[in-house]
Amino acid sequence: MAYEITLLTTMAISVLFALSLNFISGFCGQISLGHAAFLGTGAYTSALLTKASVPFLLTLPLAAMTAALLGVLVGLTSLRVRHDFLAITTMGVAFLFVGIVRQQDFLGGEIGVSGIPPTGLGRVGFLILAISLAAAFAAFSLYVRRSWMGFVFKSIADNEDVARLLGIDVPRYKLAAFVVGTAVAGVAGALYAHHFRFLAPDSFGFIESVSVLAMVIVGGIGSVWGVAFAAAILSVLPLMFQFVNDFKLLLYSALLFAMMRFSPDGVAGLVRRFLVTGPRNRG
């Protein structure tokens, strides 16, 4: 039973993390290749605070605030760049984060952070918390997508210049999406830290950023349920099959290529097309 709980908890954390990137990239069209840095910020914040005897539940909002603060700094920089330049800028954030962590002894340096205290919730309680947070943010994402703010985000993602002509404050909404997404990534990081109870700098590098981007694209960028489904499946495959873990970057990169070539709208798009054409094909 412990193995199943571990898998389900990993899935819930990955879903929350993927949805946080989907809020930035899927809703507002800002491609980030350094999203793992915000996961790591939340993870290190929560781990160090709990080691300093701060209650775990109190570290969740603090992890969100720390990641959101970094999100503000990166988001303000991203307002001046678009598309490929934005991807390169955010990719640099991931490398910078890993480099800083490796050089700081109080962050564990190359050795990492071990001995992270338990949450006190138990395995089942922690699983319920992770699922509840992932479900709550999924519901929030659906609400935003169908609200007026969702239409604003979509107009920015489709064409920033037209959105400006319509009177939309593009920098304000782009920054808002970035801050919300990074704050939620920080919460996912806090859960990650106490789920695995060990942190290493390389866990939050470029490979992890590519992995979560693969989840978003495979699921269908902008689709809440599609991204949640892809994140749940892709997060447990490396745990269940060793060869997937050994060739994770290669396989995820191949998935990205295949989806962008054959189904740019991901699994969600495949399902929509099947629902539309399926009955016709059956006569």
Across residues 17-25, what is the average pLDDT?
A: 93
* Tens digits of residue pLDDT in 131-150: 999 999 999 999 998 998 88
Tokens of 26: 């899927």
The DSSP string of 83-115 is HHHHHHHHHHHHHHHHHHHHH-GGGTTTT-B--
Instruction: Output the pTM of the full model.
Output: 0.90
Determine the 3-state secondary structure of 24 from DSSP. Answer: helix
pLDDT of the residue at 82? 64
The full set of domains in the chain, from first to last, is 2-281 (1.10.3470)
**Closest to 237 (Cα-Cα) out of 5, 1, 10:** 10
Query: What one-letter code names the amino acid at 9?
Result: T
Q: Which residue has the tokens 């793992």?
A: 36
13-27, 29-43, 254-268, range with the lowest pLDDT? 254-268
Distance, CA of 266 to CA of 268 (rounded, Å)? 5
Which contiguous run of DSSP H or E holds residue 236? Answer: helix 224-240
Q: pLDDT for 170-183, tens place per residue?
A: 888 888 998 999 99
- Give the pLDDT confidence score for residue 108 in this predicted structure: 80
Structural contact between residues 50 and 56, judged by C-beta atoms closer than 8 angstroms: yes
Give yes or no for a contact between 33 and 206, defined as CB atoms under 8 angstroms apart.
yes
pLDDT in tens, 147-171: 988 889 888 888 888 888 888 888 8
Residue 258: HSE in the Cβ half-sphere, 13 Å Cα cutoff: 12
Q: How many CB atoms lie within 10 A of CB 46?
A: 30
Which residue type sits at 98? V
pLDDT over 80 (residue 281): no
**pLDDT above 60 (res 238):** yes
**Are 39 and 17 spatial neighbours (Cβ–Cβ below 8 Å)?**
yes
**CB proximity list for 110: less than 8 A, separation 6 or greater:** 102, 201
